[in-house]
Every structure is written in structure tokens, then in C-alpha cells.
Structure 1
Amino acid sequence: MTSSARVVLATSAETFESALASAKPGGLCLLHFRADWAAQCVQMSLVMDELAKEPAYSAVTFVNVEAEQVPQVTSRFGVLAVPTFLLVRRAAESQQPQVVDRLNGADPAALAAKLSAAVSATAPATGGDVAAAPKETQAQLEARLKSLLTRSPVLLFMKGSPDAPRCGFSRQIVELLRKHAEVAPFDHFDILTDQAVREGLKKLSNWPTYPQLYAAGELLGGLDVVREMDEAGELGPALKAAVTARLEKLVKAAPVMLFMKGSPDAPRCGFSRQIVELLRSEGVQFGHFDILQDNSVREGLKKFSNWPTFPQLYADGQLLGGLDIVREMQQAGELKEALPASCRA
């Protein structure tokens, strides 16, 4: 798969960093994490080529990132599936780029809209430089922080990523958490990519240093506190309780809940597409959760229900099964009887 002259191809960490460095400080970069085997990536690469031709986006750096060839980069930005798009703003020298917006999946219209909005928020300044985006208000920052804290049941704010920590304290706390990852998978946020989050979280939680570990949206502490909890045998149960509480809430978010890859209108695997078609053919009303958006849910649900694969269908919080079982229930005329009456056609 090739890229047009305006779209940089990153096949190594070195070419990726070089592509980012080619943007002006404060300039926008559109990153497309892709793989040759994914048909959606082929389509979206063509979209990238067309967007790169637009005069309005002449100051944007477009980068196609071969996701499987740069695992350290995909981990650093929390990319779990392809295609994934990130709009990032290049920071000053030696600082991490700031993630401005994100799009998971193949949606040309949404990508164009997000790019247009990001460019519109960057007004030209005198001298040909690029002005900073509008400053975030304190209220907006606090709302973003509170939303971020509930993103995952176990969330670590650290320097770098679990696979590439950028300080010794972050490396040590990752090692502690990985001891309990079987029962409590954890998510992470790299504070080096967002200075506002880095400073704002210190004030919000009244905790001046990093790393910081949160469970169910509440601060547990930094490395010393987490180490003490682990030595006392308290860390694993605390993390597991946070994961279990979130999963119990999610499986009951709707009377019928489907945990799938993608969304009903844009499934991202064949099994997910087939179970959506089956449910729709039966006139079943159902909620859904895209497991590609949250690895802690993806891994936690496998253990929560003792079911290793996806999709998974739940009725009134109880697992019915995956595609094969749901199909067998349909063929036997048992599916509708197993679902709440309010969700049947």
C-alpha cells in the first residue's frame, strides 16, 4: 500500500518521529494507523490522499502509520484497532504532541468534519506562524478531567506508556499492576501528551506527583501507596472490585446488550456483523458497546462471564452467548423467549 506525495508513510519509529518533526510547532498532523490486510484501511488511505490535496489543508502534515510495524507508537497513542485516526498538534521541541481529536473506524465524512474543525480552530498568525488553539477554560478542563477519570475502571496516569514508560516510578507501578492484570486489566493516560491534564489533575485530586492510579474514578494513590496496598494484599481486590462494578453496570445498560467490535451500523468484524443482522432480522431492540474502545472492558468481560470471544449478547444482565449460540437459539425458535418482552418486535 503506497501513499501520495503529500502523505508521509511511517514504517518505523524513526520515520514516524521524523514526520512529526517536519510539522511546524503548533501545527496539525493527521495520523492514520492502518494495516495492509484491512480493506477499510485501503479505502481510508484514498480518503487521506484526497484530503491532502485540498488547499485548505496545505499546512497539515498527513501521515500513514503502518500500525503493526511500529508497536511502540501504537501503544504510546492507545491504538487498539485499525483504522484509527488521530489529530495531533506538534508541541515545542522535546515535548510530546497533544492529541486534539480521534476517530476509530472508517468514516470519511466524520474524518473530514474533524479535520475541518481542527483546522478552523487554528487561525493564522502574523508572520506566517500558526496561532494556538482557543484556550480551554477551567470549567471545561474540570469537565474533561472528570470524564477522563471514568473512562476505565482502572486508570493509570503515567509518563509514557506501559510498554515504554518514561520514568522509573511509572515503570515500577506498571510492573505492580501487571501482576493483577488477569483479574483487573488497566488503562493508561500519558500525561506527557497533555500539559493541561498533567497540571489540572494535580489540583483536582490534590496529589502533586505522578504516577497516579485511579479505581472507579477515585484516586488510590501514587507508587508508594500502591506498593503498600500490594504488600498488604489489598491491591488486587480493590482493582477487581472496580472492574466488576463497571462490568455489572455495563451488561445492564440496556435490557438487551451486545458487546461487539464496532457499532451496529459499522461492525468491524464478520461475527459482529452477522449477529447484528440476526438480531435485526428478529426485530430485537438492543444496546451495544464497542469493545475496541476500551481494552479493560474487552479483557475484563472475558473473565467476568468466563467467555473468551466476542461478540457477546446479554439479556437482563445475563450472558446468552456468542454468535453460534444465538444463531442456534434463533433456529430453535428460542431466542425471542429468552429476551425481555419489551425488546421483542
Structure 2
Amino acid sequence: MGTVKDVLSKDDLDTAIGGGASAVIHFWASWCEASKQMDQVFSHLCTDFPHVLFLRVEAEEQPEISDAYSVSAVPFFVFFKDGKATDKLEGANPSVLANKVAKIAGSTANAESAAPASLGMAAGPTVLETVKEMAKKNNLLETETLGANRTDNLTKRLQDLVGSHPVMLFMKGTPEVPKCGFSSKVVELLKREKVEFQSFDVLSDDEVRQGLKTFSNWPSYPQLYVKGELIGGSDIVLEMHKSGEFKKVLAEKSIGEETLEDRLKNLILSSPVMLFMKGNPDAPRCGFSSKVVGALRDGGISFGSFDILSDEEVRQGLKAYSNWPTFPQLYYKGELIGGCDIVLELSTTGELKSTLSE
């Protein structure tokens, strides 16, 4: 067949493997370097084994398919013989991948000896050595997941993020510009029901993106939390809304009764060092905000942030709450430190780091 087919739905997959041909599925992710490297090998093997059906699934875009094959990390491969799943491979191991493809291809040669040679011819020395070096660097079979190696600091950060707002949505993109259809559907539902929520773009922080999967034991995005408790992903939230269960959960947790003052307090306390600014740290939208971000980063200070341009209620409410008429505003453990001039003065005198660590 000679080409890799991208699978775009469960029906698409069922049709592809329904004919009983030998097949292999590569579950991958565009952000994962190991996936990209193994995808090169996958494409070359496709040429070398033309009678095997080579399929590719973007794991997080197709959660129904990923769940069906218990995919919790990428790269991940599932092998089919006579229409039935017979084997799997987790991790970046090009030689093992070639062996397993040769096995389902039913090669008359000995698969254990022929496949690595086939890989060498198909992939070429540059691709093969690149993948081997990548695999060695990542302890051979390491996949893009944090598992048990998640640090205590990351756990604390995830707990803070999950609890930073009564309704917290971890999504791809932002509510204004969602970057996947599932995230877009949940945002539309929350807006339609006039539910106040805060969001976090998992595409902006790979540590959070991977860590939260293990933290929540939920392999895909979006993830919706209410008062720190995981509700679920797109399918579950939409089904709960359809049955009326979602409104019931919100009512039980008193969502919608939060005052603006309560919300501002929760935002201020969502990180020990909290910056209310115009834009975000990677793309400030005013010079004063940019200067404060620079001072904090120069001091090696970790901080949370909130874009006041994204929420007019917060923008106006915080001025009255803090009795401080301009932005940015920097808080430490719930107490206002000040705006740009004060932060820069503390930075110049060398007192900024000590002030934010007392």
C-alpha cells in the first residue's frame, strides 16, 4: 500500500481494519519529539512492508479510540493480524517496532533477524541513528508521560491550578481561540449556561499538560473541574448537561452564588506570588506589565498571572478591592505589593526576592 493513512474517527478505523488485513496503528502527538522521530521510522517501514496497513491516530484528538486501546502515553503502537489486535508497543524503540511489523507481515524470513536489516534499508542510517540516539537519551523506552516521577513541586502546582477557580477548565487554546473541537464544545456550553470559569491552556505548558494526566488519571483534554473535583472531559460534560446532571452538580457546589469579592480573593490566592497584568508573561500587552514580568524572571521568582484584559469584571473589581487604580498589580500571599514602580524599585535595591519569600 505504501502510504500512512490518518484515522479521523472510530468509524474510519473500523472500516480500515474491518477487512482483516495486517495492520499497525501509531498513536502519536504532534508536540511529542519521540512521536515525531518514530513517525519517520513508521513511514519508512510503510514502504518496506507494502502489504501491511499503516494507520496513524493523533491520540489526544481521538480519545474514544485511545481509550479503546488503553493508550495513556505516546508513542504507542497496536498491531493487528487477521483483523484482531495481537500485540502492542509502548515507547520509542525502532528495532522492536520493525520486528513486530515484520511478524504481522508474515515474512518468510526470520522476523527477529530480518526486521532490523529491513529497518536499516528503509529508514537509512541518518534516521535510524537519530532515533536510536533519541531513544538512548530518553532511557530507551521512556514515553511522554510523567508517571511516578512527578515531583512534589509539580503536584503542589497542579493542586493550586485545579483549585484556583470554582470552575476550572484545562483546555487546548483559550476560550476565545480554542485549538480543538472538544475544548470548543465545553467552552460553548459553559458560556451558554453563563457559568463563570477560568481556563488554562495546556498547549502553553507541557509540564502541566503531561502532569495533569497522571494527577487526574484522565488521559485527554479538555478536563473540567468544579470546586477542585474532576467532572470529566467533553463527552461526559455534554452528556451530563443533556441529562440535567450538570446543573445539579453546580447547584450542589453552590456555583453561581460566588460574589465578586470571593472570586477576587480566590484569584489573588491562586499562587503565592500573583501578578495581575495586561496580556500574559510570554506576550505582555503593555510596557509596565512587561517590565514587572522581566523583573520577576530576572530574580528567578515563580509566579502566577491573570490577564485582566480577558475579564472586565475582574479588571474593574480589583481596582476597588485593592484601592489601586492601575495595572499591573503584584500580590504576595494575598497582600498587595504594588505596581510597576514599586516592583522595579525593589528589584533595583535587591529586595524583591526577599520580599516575596518572607
TM range (shorter): 0.3 to 0.5
Q: Which has the larger radius of gyration?
A: 2
Output the TM-score relative to the length of structure 1.
0.38
Q: Higher relative contact order at CA 8 Å, sep ≥6: structure 1 or structure 2?
A: 1
Output the TM-score relative to the length of structure 2.
0.37
